[in-house]
Amino acid sequence: MAGSTEAIDFEALFAAAARVQTFAYAPYSRFRVGAAILGDDGVVYPGCNVENAAYPSGSCAEQGAISAMIAGGGRRIRAILVLGDGDELVTPCGACRQRIREFAAPETPVAIAGPGGIRQMFSLAELLPASFGPDNLRR
Ligand SMILES: [Zn+2]
């Protein structure tokens, strides 16, 4: 089951992700990914993947979008969209699922898109069940 999607402009998220996907720095994989977050402040924060010649030093699109949100003053993720090319669903990698969890509730919608638009909706809980999050460290 996908999370609550009321009053979320997924077309705006798709447009933002599509724009930054074209700017992605992916000279090695040539696999460009764009992401867009709707923050709790109503602002759309985009991010794209940035590869590095020292491969593990590269960063994911979701990571860039989270950094943009935090730097822009947003604190919570209301929704996130990830856009990639190819036949397979471009879902967030395991590390990014955890990064998203830091700022999003389990029911937060995660839209997975391809060039033609949204392909599938998930809740974060579907992608990262029984997750460990900030609440685990609160007493
Ligand atoms: Zn990732």
For residue range 78-129, what is the model confidence (pLDDT) as tens digits?
Answer: 999 999 999 999 999 999 999 999 999 999 999 999 999 999 999 999 999 9
- How confident is residue 139, by pLDDT bands cut at 50, 70 and 90? confident
Q: How far is the CA of 137 from the centre of ligand 1 (A)?
A: 23
Q: How far is the CA of 47 from the centre of ligand 1 (A)?
A: 11
Nearest to 86 by CA among 36, 28, 31, 10: 31
Active site residues: 62
45 CA → ligand 1 middle, Å: 16
Architecture of domain 10-127: 3-Layer(aba) Sandwich (3.40)
H-run or E-run covering 84: strand 77-84
Residues 43 and 109: their CA atoms lie apart, in Å, by 16
- pLDDT band for position 6 (cuts 50, 70, 90): low
* 101 Cα to the center of ligand 1, angstroms: 12
